[in-house]
Amino acid sequence: MTARVARGGVAAAMALGMLMSAGSVGAAPLSVSPDGFTTRCTPTAPDSDALSGLVWAGDVAYAIGDRGNDDRLAVLDTATCTVNRWIELDGTIDVEDLALDGNGTVWAAGTDDNDSRRDTVALIGIDPDSGAQTRLTLRFPDGPHEVEAVALTPRGVPVLVGKVGDGTAAVYTADGEGAVDAVADGATIDLVEAGPVRASAMDGTTRPITGAAVSADGTIAALRTKKDVYLFAVHDGDAAGAFTSAPVVVIEAPEQPQGEAVTFTEDNALLLASESTGEPTPPILELRGAADLVARGDATATASPDPGVAVAVVLLAVVVGCSGGWALLRRVRA
Protein backbone atom coordinates (compact mmCIF):
# COMPACT_ATOMS: atom_id res chain seq x y z
CA MET A 1 0.00 0.00 0.00
CA THR A 2 1.32 3.44 -0.87
CA ALA A 3 1.83 6.13 1.76
CA ARG A 4 -0.85 8.24 0.09
CA VAL A 5 -3.40 5.43 0.32
CA ALA A 6 -2.46 4.81 3.95
CA ARG A 7 -2.85 8.48 4.77
CA GLY A 8 -6.22 8.56 3.02
CA GLY A 9 -7.43 5.54 4.95
CA VAL A 10 -6.29 6.98 8.26
CA ALA A 11 -7.96 10.31 7.52
CA ALA A 12 -11.18 8.59 6.53
CA ALA A 13 -11.14 6.57 9.74
CA MET A 14 -10.56 9.74 11.74
CA ALA A 15 -13.47 11.42 10.00
CA LEU A 16 -15.76 8.52 10.76
CA GLY A 17 -14.57 8.61 14.35
CA MET A 18 -15.53 12.26 14.50
CA LEU A 19 -18.98 11.34 13.28
CA MET A 20 -19.38 8.66 15.94
CA SER A 21 -18.30 11.05 18.67
CA ALA A 22 -20.23 14.09 17.44
CA GLY A 23 -21.96 15.49 20.49
CA SER A 24 -25.32 16.83 21.43
CA VAL A 25 -25.07 20.29 19.90
CA GLY A 26 -28.15 19.78 17.75
CA ALA A 27 -29.87 16.89 19.50
CA ALA A 28 -33.54 17.57 20.15
CA PRO A 29 -34.41 17.77 23.85
CA LEU A 30 -36.93 15.42 25.41
CA SER A 31 -40.35 17.07 25.22
CA VAL A 32 -42.71 16.62 28.18
CA SER A 33 -46.36 17.65 28.45
CA PRO A 34 -47.83 19.21 31.60
CA ASP A 35 -50.02 16.16 32.24
CA GLY A 36 -47.67 14.61 34.80
CA PHE A 37 -47.96 17.46 37.31
CA THR A 38 -50.08 17.00 40.42
CA THR A 39 -50.95 19.34 43.28
CA ARG A 40 -48.53 19.03 46.17
CA CYS A 41 -50.38 21.46 48.47
CA THR A 42 -51.86 24.95 48.43
CA PRO A 43 -50.60 27.86 50.57
CA THR A 44 -53.50 29.46 52.41
CA ALA A 45 -51.93 32.04 54.73
CA PRO A 46 -52.82 35.72 54.29
CA ASP A 47 -50.21 37.83 52.50
CA SER A 48 -48.65 34.75 50.86
CA ASP A 49 -50.22 35.37 47.44
CA ALA A 50 -47.10 36.93 45.90
CA LEU A 51 -45.01 33.75 45.87
CA SER A 52 -41.84 34.52 43.93
CA GLY A 53 -39.23 32.26 45.53
CA LEU A 54 -39.44 28.74 46.99
CA VAL A 55 -37.01 26.18 48.42
CA TRP A 56 -37.71 22.76 49.94
CA ALA A 57 -35.82 21.28 52.91
CA GLY A 58 -37.22 18.04 54.27
CA ASP A 59 -40.40 18.66 56.23
CA VAL A 60 -40.23 22.45 55.86
CA ALA A 61 -40.17 24.79 52.91
CA TYR A 62 -39.39 28.49 52.65
CA ALA A 63 -41.33 30.91 50.48
CA ILE A 64 -41.24 34.63 49.80
CA GLY A 65 -42.97 37.24 47.66
CA ASP A 66 -41.38 39.96 45.60
CA ARG A 67 -41.53 43.75 45.87
CA GLY A 68 -43.97 44.81 48.58
CA ASN A 69 -44.27 41.28 49.97
CA ASP A 70 -40.61 40.48 50.60
CA ASP A 71 -40.20 41.79 54.13
CA ARG A 72 -40.65 38.35 55.70
CA LEU A 73 -39.90 34.74 54.91
CA ALA A 74 -42.64 32.13 55.29
CA VAL A 75 -41.72 28.78 56.87
CA LEU A 76 -44.15 26.21 55.43
CA ASP A 77 -45.13 22.70 56.40
CA THR A 78 -44.33 20.65 53.27
CA ALA A 79 -47.28 18.32 53.79
CA THR A 80 -49.96 21.02 53.95
CA CYS A 81 -48.27 24.28 52.87
CA THR A 82 -49.58 25.99 56.00
CA VAL A 83 -47.33 28.68 57.43
CA ASN A 84 -45.70 27.53 60.65
CA ARG A 85 -44.08 30.89 61.31
CA TRP A 86 -42.65 34.00 59.69
CA ILE A 87 -39.06 35.31 59.76
CA GLU A 88 -38.81 39.09 59.49
CA LEU A 89 -36.19 40.32 57.03
CA ASP A 90 -34.06 43.45 57.07
CA GLY A 91 -33.47 45.72 54.10
CA THR A 92 -34.76 43.62 51.21
CA ILE A 93 -34.69 45.06 47.69
CA ASP A 94 -37.32 43.29 45.60
CA VAL A 95 -36.58 39.62 46.28
CA GLU A 96 -37.04 37.51 43.15
CA ASP A 97 -35.76 34.05 44.09
CA LEU A 98 -34.64 31.85 46.96
CA ALA A 99 -31.80 29.34 47.23
CA LEU A 100 -30.63 26.99 49.95
CA ASP A 101 -26.99 26.26 50.72
CA GLY A 102 -25.53 23.06 52.13
CA ASN A 103 -25.57 24.44 55.68
CA GLY A 104 -29.32 25.05 55.62
CA THR A 105 -29.04 28.82 55.21
CA VAL A 106 -31.76 30.33 53.03
CA TRP A 107 -30.56 32.99 50.60
CA ALA A 108 -32.97 35.64 49.37
CA ALA A 109 -31.93 37.18 46.06
CA GLY A 110 -32.67 40.89 45.95
CA THR A 111 -31.84 41.07 42.28
CA ASP A 112 -34.69 42.62 40.32
CA ASP A 113 -33.81 45.82 38.48
CA ASN A 114 -36.61 46.62 36.06
CA ASP A 115 -34.99 49.89 35.06
CA SER A 116 -31.47 48.37 34.76
CA ARG A 117 -29.88 50.93 37.05
CA ARG A 118 -27.81 48.78 39.43
CA ASP A 119 -24.53 47.05 38.59
CA THR A 120 -24.71 45.26 41.95
CA VAL A 121 -27.42 43.08 43.50
CA ALA A 122 -27.88 41.61 46.96
CA LEU A 123 -27.99 38.18 48.55
CA ILE A 124 -29.40 37.99 52.07
CA GLY A 125 -28.59 34.83 54.01
CA ILE A 126 -31.12 33.84 56.68
CA ASP A 127 -30.46 31.33 59.45
CA PRO A 128 -33.91 29.71 59.84
CA ASP A 129 -33.27 28.78 63.49
CA SER A 130 -32.01 32.09 64.87
CA GLY A 131 -33.23 34.51 62.23
CA ALA A 132 -29.71 35.97 61.99
CA GLN A 133 -29.00 37.51 58.60
CA THR A 134 -25.96 38.02 56.40
CA ARG A 135 -25.87 40.44 53.50
CA LEU A 136 -23.60 40.06 50.47
CA THR A 137 -23.21 42.19 47.37
CA LEU A 138 -22.79 40.65 43.92
CA ARG A 139 -21.20 42.85 41.26
CA PHE A 140 -21.72 42.36 37.52
CA PRO A 141 -18.65 42.76 35.30
CA ASP A 142 -20.49 44.65 32.55
CA GLY A 143 -23.12 46.94 34.04
CA PRO A 144 -26.70 46.52 35.25
CA HIS A 145 -28.86 43.49 34.45
CA GLU A 146 -32.40 42.49 35.27
CA VAL A 147 -32.31 39.11 37.01
CA GLU A 148 -35.13 37.04 38.50
CA ALA A 149 -33.44 33.61 38.48
CA VAL A 150 -30.76 32.76 41.07
CA ALA A 151 -29.46 29.37 42.20
CA LEU A 152 -26.68 27.99 44.37
CA THR A 153 -24.54 24.98 43.58
CA PRO A 154 -24.14 22.40 46.38
CA ARG A 155 -20.81 24.09 47.14
CA GLY A 156 -22.63 27.41 47.65
CA VAL A 157 -21.49 29.12 44.45
CA PRO A 158 -24.12 31.61 43.19
CA VAL A 159 -25.39 31.41 39.62
CA LEU A 160 -27.51 34.25 38.21
CA VAL A 161 -29.49 34.05 34.98
CA GLY A 162 -30.66 37.17 33.14
CA LYS A 163 -34.37 37.67 32.62
CA VAL A 164 -34.29 38.89 29.02
CA GLY A 165 -36.32 36.62 26.74
CA ASP A 166 -35.06 37.63 23.29
CA GLY A 167 -32.05 35.33 23.16
CA THR A 168 -29.61 37.79 24.75
CA ALA A 169 -29.86 36.66 28.38
CA ALA A 170 -26.56 35.71 29.99
CA VAL A 171 -25.44 33.51 32.89
CA TYR A 172 -23.20 34.92 35.62
CA THR A 173 -21.36 33.16 38.42
CA ALA A 174 -18.85 34.00 41.11
CA ASP A 175 -15.34 34.84 39.98
CA GLY A 176 -13.08 32.09 41.27
CA GLU A 177 -16.07 29.94 42.27
CA GLY A 178 -16.49 31.83 45.55
CA ALA A 179 -19.00 30.22 47.90
CA VAL A 180 -21.48 32.44 49.74
CA ASP A 181 -20.69 30.86 53.11
CA ALA A 182 -16.96 31.46 52.68
CA VAL A 183 -17.08 35.28 52.75
CA ALA A 184 -17.80 37.69 55.56
CA ASP A 185 -20.98 39.64 56.12
CA GLY A 186 -20.95 42.76 53.95
CA ALA A 187 -18.48 41.35 51.43
CA THR A 188 -18.69 41.90 47.67
CA ILE A 189 -18.45 38.94 45.28
CA ASP A 190 -17.36 39.78 41.75
CA LEU A 191 -19.26 37.95 39.02
CA VAL A 192 -18.04 36.75 35.64
CA GLU A 193 -20.11 35.95 32.60
CA ALA A 194 -20.29 32.22 31.93
CA GLY A 195 -22.02 32.54 28.57
CA PRO A 196 -25.42 33.07 26.95
CA VAL A 197 -28.63 31.26 27.75
CA ARG A 198 -29.51 28.80 24.98
CA ALA A 199 -32.83 27.51 26.34
CA SER A 200 -35.88 27.87 24.12
CA ALA A 201 -39.32 26.31 23.84
CA MET A 202 -39.95 23.46 21.41
CA ASP A 203 -41.23 25.93 18.81
CA GLY A 204 -37.98 27.91 19.08
CA THR A 205 -39.43 30.87 20.99
CA THR A 206 -37.78 32.35 24.06
CA ARG A 207 -39.48 33.93 27.05
CA PRO A 208 -38.28 35.87 30.11
CA ILE A 209 -36.66 33.57 32.68
CA THR A 210 -38.32 33.87 36.08
CA GLY A 211 -36.69 31.20 38.26
CA ALA A 212 -33.73 28.84 38.63
CA ALA A 213 -32.82 25.87 40.80
CA VAL A 214 -30.09 23.28 41.26
CA SER A 215 -30.87 19.97 42.96
CA ALA A 216 -29.36 19.24 46.38
CA ASP A 217 -27.17 16.51 44.89
CA GLY A 218 -25.97 18.88 42.17
CA THR A 219 -26.86 16.61 39.25
CA ILE A 220 -29.80 18.45 37.68
CA ALA A 221 -30.79 22.07 37.22
CA ALA A 222 -33.87 23.93 36.08
CA LEU A 223 -34.83 27.25 34.55
CA ARG A 224 -38.41 28.32 34.17
CA THR A 225 -40.47 30.91 32.37
CA LYS A 226 -44.17 31.56 32.83
CA LYS A 227 -44.85 28.93 30.15
CA ASP A 228 -41.92 26.48 30.07
CA VAL A 229 -39.49 24.59 32.30
CA TYR A 230 -36.01 23.65 31.04
CA LEU A 231 -34.08 20.84 32.70
CA PHE A 232 -30.31 20.42 32.39
CA ALA A 233 -27.84 17.70 33.27
CA VAL A 234 -25.12 19.12 35.52
CA HIS A 235 -21.69 17.54 35.08
CA ASP A 236 -18.84 17.97 37.58
CA GLY A 237 -20.88 20.49 39.57
CA ASP A 238 -20.78 23.08 36.78
CA ALA A 239 -24.29 24.55 37.04
CA ALA A 240 -23.31 27.74 35.21
CA GLY A 241 -22.01 25.64 32.32
CA ALA A 242 -25.24 23.63 32.31
CA PHE A 243 -27.34 26.79 32.06
CA THR A 244 -25.33 27.94 29.03
CA SER A 245 -25.86 24.61 27.25
CA ALA A 246 -28.99 23.38 25.52
CA PRO A 247 -31.57 21.84 27.88
CA VAL A 248 -31.98 18.08 27.70
CA VAL A 249 -35.68 18.28 28.69
CA VAL A 250 -38.26 20.93 27.80
CA ILE A 251 -41.52 20.81 29.77
CA GLU A 252 -44.65 22.68 28.88
CA ALA A 253 -45.62 24.08 32.26
CA PRO A 254 -49.19 23.79 33.51
CA GLU A 255 -51.23 26.98 33.27
CA GLN A 256 -50.48 29.29 36.21
CA PRO A 257 -51.47 32.93 36.79
CA GLN A 258 -47.87 34.19 36.95
CA GLY A 259 -45.33 31.38 37.17
CA GLU A 260 -42.25 32.50 39.07
CA ALA A 261 -40.71 29.87 41.36
CA VAL A 262 -39.07 26.53 40.64
CA THR A 263 -37.27 24.18 43.03
CA PHE A 264 -36.49 20.53 43.71
CA THR A 265 -37.40 18.35 46.66
CA GLU A 266 -34.67 16.32 48.32
CA ASP A 267 -35.63 13.31 46.19
CA ASN A 268 -35.51 15.43 43.00
CA ALA A 269 -39.18 15.96 42.34
CA LEU A 270 -39.71 19.20 40.44
CA LEU A 271 -41.91 21.85 42.10
CA LEU A 272 -43.50 24.93 40.51
CA ALA A 273 -45.17 27.84 42.30
CA SER A 274 -46.89 30.95 41.06
CA GLU A 275 -47.88 34.39 42.14
CA SER A 276 -51.58 35.10 42.00
CA THR A 277 -53.30 37.90 40.15
CA GLY A 278 -55.66 39.04 42.86
CA GLU A 279 -57.00 35.57 43.56
CA PRO A 280 -55.99 33.07 46.29
CA THR A 281 -52.50 31.64 45.99
CA PRO A 282 -52.33 28.90 43.34
CA PRO A 283 -51.28 25.40 44.43
CA ILE A 284 -47.68 24.25 44.40
CA LEU A 285 -47.38 21.74 41.56
CA GLU A 286 -45.18 18.65 41.62
CA LEU A 287 -43.65 16.49 38.89
CA ARG A 288 -42.10 13.26 40.14
CA GLY A 289 -39.17 11.62 38.37
CA ALA A 290 -37.38 14.75 37.16
CA ALA A 291 -34.01 13.05 37.57
CA ASP A 292 -35.14 10.15 35.38
CA LEU A 293 -36.31 12.57 32.69
CA VAL A 294 -32.94 14.33 32.75
CA ALA A 295 -31.07 11.01 32.55
CA ARG A 296 -33.14 9.98 29.51
CA GLY A 297 -32.75 13.36 27.85
CA ASP A 298 -29.01 13.48 28.54
CA ALA A 299 -28.52 9.97 27.16
CA THR A 300 -30.43 10.88 24.01
CA ALA A 301 -28.50 14.10 23.57
CA THR A 302 -25.16 12.36 24.06
CA ALA A 303 -26.02 9.60 21.60
CA SER A 304 -27.50 11.85 18.91
CA PRO A 305 -25.03 13.67 16.66
CA ASP A 306 -25.77 17.16 15.50
CA PRO A 307 -27.32 16.90 12.00
CA GLY A 308 -25.11 19.61 10.54
CA VAL A 309 -21.98 18.10 12.04
CA ALA A 310 -23.00 14.66 10.86
CA VAL A 311 -23.49 15.78 7.26
CA ALA A 312 -20.20 17.65 7.21
CA VAL A 313 -18.28 14.72 8.64
CA VAL A 314 -19.85 12.26 6.21
CA LEU A 315 -18.89 14.49 3.29
CA LEU A 316 -15.38 14.76 4.68
CA ALA A 317 -15.16 11.00 4.99
CA VAL A 318 -16.38 10.55 1.41
CA VAL A 319 -13.92 13.08 0.03
CA VAL A 320 -10.98 11.65 1.94
CA GLY A 321 -11.97 8.10 1.10
CA CYS A 322 -12.34 8.91 -2.58
CA SER A 323 -8.95 10.57 -2.68
CA GLY A 324 -7.42 7.45 -1.18
CA GLY A 325 -9.27 5.24 -3.64
CA TRP A 326 -8.19 7.41 -6.59
CA ALA A 327 -4.59 7.14 -5.45
CA LEU A 328 -4.91 3.36 -5.26
CA LEU A 329 -6.44 3.22 -8.76
CA ARG A 330 -3.61 5.27 -10.18
CA ARG A 331 -1.11 2.93 -8.48
CA VAL A 332 -2.80 -0.15 -10.02
CA ARG A 333 -2.85 1.39 -13.51
CA ALA A 334 0.82 2.24 -13.21
For the CA atoms of 127, 46, 214, 293, what is the dihedral angle to 10 degrees? 150
Asked if the model's pLDDT at residue 146 lies above 70, the reply is: yes
Q: Percent of the chain, pLDDT > 70?
A: 77
Beta bridge partners of 233: 220
Mean pLDDT, residues 246-262 = 92
| pTM exceeds cut of 0.85 | no
Asked if the model's pLDDT at residue 11 lies above 80, the reply is: no
Distance (Å, whole) CA 140 – CA 118? 9
Asked if the model's pLDDT at residue 46 lies above 70, the reply is: no
CATH number of 36-304: 2.120.10.30
Domain assignments of the chain as residue spans, ordered by start = 1-22+305-334, 36-304
Mean pLDDT, residues 304-328 = 44
Q: Which long-range contacts (CB under 8 A, 24 or more apart) does 234-240 make?
A: 237/153, 237/154, 237/155, 239/151, 239/153, 239/157, 239/159, 239/173, 239/214, 240/157, 240/159, 240/171, 240/172, 240/173, 240/194, 240/195
- The pLDDT, as a whole number, for residue 258 is 84
Which of 39, 34, 72, 62 lies closest to 261 in space, CA to CA? 62
User: For 91-127, how does the pLDDT look when each residue is reduced to its tens digit (9 = 90+)?
Assistant: 766 889 999 999 999 999 988 655 556 788 999 999 9
Asked if the model's pLDDT at residue 242 lies above 90, the reply is: yes
User: For 220-240, how does the pLDDT look when each residue is reduced to its tens digit (9 = 90+)?
Assistant: 999 999 999 999 999 999 999
139 within 8 A of 183, measured Cβ to Cβ: no
19 within 8 A of 238, measured Cβ to Cβ: no
